[in-house]
Every structure is written in C-alpha cells, then in structure tokens.
Amino acid sequence: MKKNLLNELKNECLGCKKCPLGETRINIVFSDGNPETAKAILIGEAPGENEDKTGTPFVGRAGKLLNEFLEKAGISRAQDLYIINTVKCRPPKNRVPTDEEKTACEDYLLKQIEIISPKVLIFCGATALKSFYDKKIQISKIRGEILELEIGGEKRKCIPIFHPSYLLRYHSLDEGSPRDLMLKDLKKIKKLMDA
Ligand code: URA
C-alpha cells in the first residue's frame, strides 16, 4: 500500500525540473529502506557524487560511517529506517542546497513523511534540522533532544543528530566527543522506536 503511493510519488519526481538541480543531476535519489517496516525516517541533506551515480542515499564515505553507527546502536538500516534527503538531486560540488531548491523539493519530502507516517523523525545534520526548525539553532546545541513538531499534519517526535560527514573529521570515542554523542543519540532513538 505505502509502496504504491511512494512509487506514484517517485514517478512524479523522476521528471522533476522544478529547480536548477534537475538540469545537472544524473539520478533522482528518492529513498532507501523498507517503507512497510520503517519506524523512523532519517532525513539527510542532499545526495553527493556516489548517491547521484547510484540513485541511493548515503552510500559514500559518510553513508558507510552512518551504517557503522547504526549497527552499533542495533538499528537495522534495511528494516527500521526509511532514508531520504531534504533535496532529491545533487547540488553541484556538494554545496549546501539553496532555499529555492529546498522549497522546490519540499512537497516530495512532506508527502514521503505523510505516507510513511513514522513514530520518529531523525534530522541528520543542520540542513535537515533547519528545514523544520529555527534556522538560527546550532545542531551541537540541540542534538539528542526530543522535539515534538507538527509535520505533515501530525505531531511527531523529532531528534536532531550530527551528520556523519561531520564525524569523519573527529575520530575520538572519548566521553562527550562527537562520535560518543552520536552513538548515545542513536541508542536513544532505538529505544524510542521500540517503545
Ligand atoms: N549526505 C547526505 O546528507 N545525504 C546523502 O545521501 C549522502 C551524503
């Protein structure tokens, strides 16, 4: 059922030229994960080079690191999550998507959330957080907090977490380090998903 609705939406998206990214992309990067069993949606920023080539989100270096963290937290990428981005096409040179690009893609994002209607939304990085929350807030100040926000017609539990690209720069696992906090946040998310 969800799959049919998502396929319709994906077909709409495939020919999309609502913003300039439609001219430079190789592939639309629509989603990954199992829409029927997902308990949470993880929202990243935008596809990078590997994602653009393959059509799948989070398959490059950042994606591999994300996979490692998910595994450590006991979250199955394939069954527990539906993974998407704020924009479906790669911005040239991996720059941050513009407000115009995010606005053009917003309907697809909101419809994906409405169709999956998950218990939990994970804002993975500042771009996803700022698409739904105060633009001035810093991810480091709010990560790990459970926010109750009305999105796609319903109140949902939303948790901001660090983006894995940020973690690629910090290797320490010490208490309070970015990697330590990421694992703690994902374990908290796992509990929320299973509650
Ligand atoms: N970074 C993102 O935010 N999303 C991807 O799909 C890949 C890298």
Q: Give the pLDDT score at 93.
A: 96
Q: Has residue 161 got a pLDDT over 90?
A: yes
Q: Give the pLDDT score at 152.
A: 83
Q: Where are the domains of the chain?
A: 2-194
Q: Quick check: CB of 48 below 6 Å from ligand 1? A: yes
Which among 165, 166, 167, 168 is the best mutation to test ligand 1's pocket, defined by most ligand atoms within 8 Å of the CB? Answer: 165
Count of other CB atoms within 10 angstroms of residue 67 = 15
Alpha helices in 117-177 (DSSP H): 126-132, 139-142, 164-167
Q: Quick check: CB of 164 below 6 Å from ligand 1? A: no
CA 56 to ligand 1: nearest atom:
6
User: How close is the Cα of 45 to the center of ligand 1, in Å?
Assistant: 6
Which distant-in-sequence residues (6+ apart) come within 8 Å of 151 by Cβ? 110, 113, 121, 132, 158
CATH of span 2-194: 3.40.470.10
Question: Residue 195 corresponds to which tokens in the numbers above?
Answer: 């509650």
- Per the document, the length of the chain is 195
Q: Has residue 1 got a pLDDT over 90?
A: no
Give the pLDDT confidence of 17-75 residue by residue, as tens digits. 999 999 999 999 999 999 999 999 999 999 999 999 999 999 999 999 999 999 999 99
CA 165 to ligand 1: nearest atom:
1
Mean pLDDT for 73-83 is 98
Give the pLDDT confidence of 106-159 residue by residue, as tens digits. 999 999 999 999 989 999 999 999 999 989 999 999 999 999 999 988 999 999
The amino acid at 187: K
